[in-house]
Amino acid sequence: MAILENRHSGARVVLRSETTIGRSRQCVLRLDEGRVSGHHALVRWASSRWELRDLGSRNGTYVDGALAREATLRIGAVIGFGRPDAEWEVLSTTAPGPIAVDDEGLLTTAHGGLLVIEHGEQAVAVWAEHGGWVLEDHLGERREAPPEVVVGGAHFSLDLPTPSRRTIDEVPLRCSTAAFRFHVPKNEEGIRLVVLMRDEPLVSTTSAVVELLYRLARARADQSALAPAEQGWVLTDDLVRALGYRDRRHLAVVVHRARRVAAQAGLTDASDVVERDQSTDSLRFGGIDVGFERA
Distance (Å) of CA 233 to CA 218, 265, 292: 11, 24, 19
Cβ-defined contacts of 6-11 (< 8 Å, 24+): 6/87, 6/88, 7/78, 7/86, 7/87, 7/88, 7/89, 8/87
In sequence order, the β-bridge partners of residue 81 are 61
Nearest to 114 by CA among 128, 102, 103, 96: 128
Percent helix / strand / coil, the chain, rounded to 5: 15, 40, 45
DSSP three-state, residue 238: helix
In sequence order, the β-bridge partners of residue 183 are 192, 293
Taking the C-alpha atoms of residue 270 and residue 262, their distance in angstroms, rounded to an integer, is 5
Query: How many CB atoms lie under 10 A from the CB of residue 230?
Result: 10
Nearest to 233 by CA among 278, 188, 267: 278
Q: What are phi and psi of 176, to 5 degrees?
A: -75, -20
Distance between start and end Cα atoms, the chain: 39
Are 179 and 197 a contacting pair, CB within 8 Å?
A: yes
Are 194 and 203 a contacting pair, CB within 8 Å?
A: yes
pLDDT score for 204:
65
**Whole-prediction pTM value?**
0.74
Angle, in degrees to the nearest 10, between helices 248-264 and 236-243: 90
Segments of the chain scoring below 50 in pLDDT: 166-171
pLDDT score for 87:
87
Opening angle at CA 152, ends 149 and 155, nearest 5: 35
Helical H segments across 63-137, by residue range: none
Torsion sign across C-alpha atoms 38, 81, 63, 113 = negative
pLDDT score for 51:
96
pLDDT score for 188:
82
Taking the C-alpha atoms of residue 177 and residue 22, their distance in angstroms, rounded to an integer, is 46
pLDDT score for 167:
43
